[in-house]
Structure 1
């Protein structure tokens, strides 16, 4: 048997075991989630069958925690049993049933969200995109739901109540405002250039693709094109397979100017006329800037604009109150 064949054989066995381990973890997670839901149901029913005073519910949690810890060891603290009870109450009549592909730790994060529509959105995205607990936590903390709902409502002119029903009605509701780039580790007060911002994005490209959203693939940086013997460069070029269109990104660390919008319009026109194929959708242009005024953007761009967008970027995870204030200011 050759060394090459041995290596191939080893990789097959290794892959087989890795898949078995992954499936075992999924099964354990599924059983745990189902068991905790049933435990929560029985806890609530026991409370309802007994004394309805709050002290009785607290007594059940405390006594059950003590006995389960004696029998099974760690993992059954009063806090955890309270979460299990809350899990049942939260999901017993939920529009989105519990998913067997998400772990108990995922659900601990999801139960932080009181609004059901928002919680359903994050649950669906975590399940569809295989988000880790860490990624789910980041998306919640960065206000992804609010940013997309706000951007989609504003750009599409839809009533606020309808924004979450067709969250990603591409392309209008695929563009966020603001984008949160805390993973770049660029201090907000630090003086940096546009080339440094670009390099930081390239260094953290995987994180940036997650922040951009669904379907994005990286095409190139400083992509050059020429006409009338003049050379032009686009900071970042992506392609979105869901939109079936190119997405051009220009980075601006200063205040957005109307000339920047005109420049992006030229970039988009060039791609529409000379790069995209007939079966592809129109090119999207995003100017990612530190500061912008929506009035100037609306006056500069055509009323029926569906291709060029200006979005702020933040270099830190905003607090909920801060994000709400930012959206209200916009």
Structure 2
């Protein structure tokens, strides 16, 4: 094969990119049309089978005749036509729709004999009721994916969650099915993270998401040293030293199955020195977990620094039987949507959590831990 010059290679890559983009947009358009058709058929079947004059075997008869008149037709078995009805009935109450010419025409024909229009779904000119559901994501997800979600969820918020995750993470139906089975929605943590995107094993990602909190109360930190400072500008080293001195308490706060490896771990790569604040190993996740402590608000640069540490740990420290390193930024404040947005560009499992310390005044009014334990033991 003749070698292409760099000049022409650039042109080839641009044309190739345009072709792939066009193919993607064409596929999306086809999917939107298909969803709209199924929604419209679902509406037609619902209005005739639920309150209309159709008999109990009507759907079976219609399916058989469709396949007879259109040889090779796929996707119109009686069970799939019932799925179209479910698709319409599940989403119709949640969609805000303004009357269109097609709706008015259908109304004139009466509810018993509606006219099917494939624009029934595409003509929606307002967002669905769910604030966290992007309608473009709704239309880009395949009907098979939609049915997996509808058959295994019970609320609009839950549906919106799986639609969003399936689209942004490019889940195939089997991956989606695994996350539905693992009940990811009800076990998800609140910490901004990219675990579902970066961990190929569904169960491993689900465990990691459930493992970490979005905020930790570090009530064992020596706040006497902090009181003299701006509470929004806590020295990272004070926090780190307090964690090291109270590592057992920190592990109990952080979660289960953590083992302390060390602090200020020295890494060296290509003549560059790095120092990891805190390093743990989690038996449940079978992963090293690196924790970087930061004062004040979250900054995008923290993710780059953490990614560098994780790269070296994965290359030089991780055992062959261990899962990839997990990284956590622990800072005082973080804007969750902003963090989640930035995490999409990182291919290593990372999350950002916040921490708070307990002022001495609040500590003073809390009961002594030993006294509280004794009181609980005396309860009948």
TM superposition score normalised by structure 1: 0.48
Task: Kindly name which structure, 1 or 2, has the bigger radius of gyration based on alpha carbons.
Answer: 2
TM superposition score normalised by structure 2: 0.43
